[in-house]
Chains A and B, each alone.
Chain A
Amino acid sequence: METKTNQMHFYQRFHVLHRLLHIVIIVNFTGLAISGFLLSLSHYNWTKILVSIIGGAAAAGSLHRFCAVFLYLGIVVHLLWLCYYKISLKGILFGPASLVPNSKDLNDLYQNLRYVFGKGPPPLFDRFSYLQKVDYWAVMLGMQSMGITGLLMWFPEYFSTILPGHFVNVANHFHFHEATLAVMYIGIVHMSDTHLLPEVFPLEKSIFNGKITKEKLAAEHPEEWKRINLLKD
Chain B
Amino acid sequence: MNSKTIISIAAGVVIMITLAGLYTITLAGLNPMQKQVTPPKNSETKPQVCLDCHRFPNINTNEGVFASNAFCYDCHREKNCTRKIDGKEITLQITHDDFNKNQRQHQFVACIKCHTDVARSPHKTLAGAKCLECHPVHGESTAHDPHFRVSCQACHFKSKFVELDPKDNHIKLAHITLESKPISLADHTLADVNDLKSCEKCHFKNNRIGAPAAVLPSKSALCILCHNSPLSMGHPIFGVAMLIFLVGVFATLRFWYLGSVQGEENSLHRKISLSSESIWNIIFSRQIFSLLKMVVLDIIFQRRILKESVGRWSMHSLIFSAILIRFLLSLFTAVIFYFHPGGDWTLALIDKNSPFTAFANDLLGLFILLGILWAMVQRFIIKPVHVATENQDNIALLIIGTLILLGFFLEGARILVTRIPAEMASYSFIGYPLSKVFSIFGLNWTSIYSYLWYAHGIVGALLVAYLPFGKMRHILNTPLTYALEEVSGVRKEKRI
Q: Which residues in A have some Cβ–Cβ distance to B below 8 Å? A: 15-17, 19-20, 59, 62, 88-89, 163-164, 166, 208-210
- Beyond A88-B269, A89-B269, A209-B284, whether A16 also contacts B276 by CB under 8 A is yes
Can you list, as one digit per residue, whether each of B257-275 has a CB less than 8 Å from chain A (1) or not (0)?
0000000000001000100
Q: Which residues in B have some Cβ–Cβ distance to A below 8 Å? A: 23-24, 27-28, 269, 273, 276-277, 279-281, 284, 339
B424: shortest Cβ distance to chain A, in Å? 32
The residue in chain B whose Cβ has the minimal distance to the Cβ of A19 is: B280
A206: shortest Cβ distance to chain B, in Å? 13
**24 A-B interface contacts by CB (under 8 A):** A15-B273, A16-B273, A16-B276, A16-B277, A16-B279, A16-B280, A17-B276, A19-B280, A20-B280, A59-B339, A62-B339, A88-B269, A89-B269, A163-B24, A164-B23, A164-B24, A164-B27, A164-B28, A166-B27, A208-B284, A209-B281, A209-B284, A210-B277, A210-B280
Neighbouring B residues of A209 by C-beta, 8 Å? 281, 284
Q: How far is the CA of A164 from the CA of B269 in the complex (A)?
A: 49
Neighbouring B residues of A15 by C-beta, 8 Å? 273
The residue in chain A whose Cβ has the minimal distance to the Cβ of B27 is: A164
Neighbouring A residues of B279 by C-beta, 8 Å? 16
Neighbouring B residues of A62 by C-beta, 8 Å? 339
Neighbouring A residues of B269 by C-beta, 8 Å? 88-89
Q: How far is the CA of A15 from the CA of B269 in the complex (A)?
A: 12
The residue in chain A whose Cβ has the minimal distance to the Cβ of B280 is: A16
A35: shortest Cβ distance to chain B, in Å? 14
Q: How far is the CA of A16 from the CA of B283 in the complex (A)?
A: 12
Q: How far is the CA of A114 from the CA of B28 in the complex (A)?
A: 55
Known: A16-B273, A16-B277. 14 other contacts (CB 8 A): A16-B276, A16-B279, A16-B280, A17-B276, A19-B280, A20-B280, A62-B339, A88-B269, A89-B269, A163-B24, A164-B27, A166-B27, A208-B284, A209-B284
Neighbouring B residues of A19 by C-beta, 8 Å? 280
Q: How far is the CA of A203 from the CA of B419 in the complex (A)?
A: 66
Neighbouring A residues of B276 by C-beta, 8 Å? 16-17
Q: How far is the CA of A89 from the CA of B276 in the complex (A)?
A: 17
A43: shortest Cβ distance to chain B, in Å? 21
Neighbouring B residues of A166 by C-beta, 8 Å? 27
Q: How far is the CA of A164 from the CA of B32 in the complex (A)?
A: 12
A131: shortest Cβ distance to chain B, in Å? 24
- 10 nearest A-B pairs in the assembled complex, by CB-CB distance: A16-B276, A164-B27, A16-B280, A164-B24, A16-B277, A62-B339, A89-B269, A15-B273, A163-B24, A19-B280
B382: shortest Cβ distance to chain A, in Å? 49
Neighbouring A residues of B277 by C-beta, 8 Å? 16, 210
Q: How far is the CA of A59 from the CA of B339 in the complex (A)?
A: 8
The residue in chain A whose Cβ has the minimal distance to the Cβ of B277 is: A16
The residue in chain B whose Cβ has the minimal distance to the Cβ of A89 is: B269
Neighbouring A residues of B24 by C-beta, 8 Å? 163-164
The residue in chain A whose Cβ has the minimal distance to the Cβ of B338 is: A62
Q: How far is the CA of A88 from the CA of B273 in the complex (A)?
A: 14
A142: shortest Cβ distance to chain B, in Å? 20
Q: How far is the CA of A20 from the CA of B276 in the complex (A)?
A: 11
Neighbouring A residues of B284 by C-beta, 8 Å? 208-209
Q: How far is the CA of A163 from the CA of B17 in the complex (A)?
A: 12
Q: How far is the CA of A16 from the CA of B23 in the complex (A)?
A: 48
The residue in chain A whose Cβ has the minimal distance to the Cβ of B28 is: A164
The residue in chain A whose Cβ has the minimal distance to the Cβ of B278 is: A16
Q: How far is the CA of A208 from the CA of B280 in the complex (A)?
A: 10
Q: How far is the CA of A17 from the CA of B279 in the complex (A)?
A: 12
A174: shortest Cβ distance to chain B, in Å? 15
Neighbouring B residues of A20 by C-beta, 8 Å? 280
Q: How far is the CA of A88 from the CA of B284 in the complex (A)?
A: 29
Q: How far is the CA of A19 from the CA of B339 in the complex (A)?
A: 31
Q: How far is the CA of A20 from the CA of B277 in the complex (A)?
A: 11
B281: shortest Cβ distance to chain A, in Å? 8
